[in-house]
């Protein structure tokens, strides 16, 4: 695969990545499609967490180039599932990124970046 000279945007990633979506009711905005993507995301995030746990347990927290590369692959898998979940909900990845930044900016302006609760 050749690397494109065009910058990769979230939406371009989403479009290209979801060409490979082969799960039940993919792209239909259905509960089964959303369930599949969210469960997949949870599994992949768990794989990232397992790698970090084993880094602490087995490597005294010393990140090697191999660890970083393997963890990046798992993070990429998370990204794929996020893009698919966004599509199932009817959003682009760029809309999700914008919503996240808006929320962070609002929390920062109100001084509530720390703490707990979804709607702080």
pLDDT, tens digit, for every residue of 49-58?
999 999 999 9
Percent of the chain clearing pLDDT 70 (strictly above): 97
Percent of the chain clearing pLDDT 90 (strictly above): 85
pLDDT, tens digit, for every residue of 17-35?
999 899 999 999 999 999 9
5 touches 83 (CB < 8 A): no
Rounded Cα distance between 56 and 36, Å, is: 31
* pLDDT computed for residue 60 by the predictor: 95
* pLDDT computed for residue 2 by the predictor: 56
pTM: predicted TM-score of the whole model, two decimal places:
0.88
Tell me: pLDDT of 117 over 80. no
Rounded Cα distance between 88 and 99, Å, is: 17
Domain residue spans in the chain? 10-110
Rounded Cα distance between 56 and 54, Å, is: 5
Surface-to-core class of residue 48, CB atoms within 10 Å of its CB (0-12 exposed, 13-18 middle, 19+ buried)? middle
Of residues 119 and 26, which shows the higher confidence score? 26
What dotted CATH number matches 10-110? 1.10.287.1080
């Amino acid at each position: 695969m050749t690397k494109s000279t065009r910058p990769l945007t979230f939406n371009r990633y989403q479009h290209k990545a979801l060409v490979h979506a082969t799960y039940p009711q993919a792209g239909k905005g259905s509960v089964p499609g959303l369930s599949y993507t969210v469960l997949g995301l949870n599994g992949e995030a768990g794989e990232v967490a397992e790698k970090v746990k084993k880094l602490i347990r087995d490597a005294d927290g010393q990140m090697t180039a191999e660890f970083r590369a393997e963890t990046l692959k798992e993070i990429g898998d998370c990204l794929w599932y996020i893009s698919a979940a966004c599509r199932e909900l009817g959003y682009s990845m760029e809309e999700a990124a914008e919503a996240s930044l808006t929320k962070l900016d609002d929390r920062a302006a109100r001084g509530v970046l720390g703490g707990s609760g979804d709607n702080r």
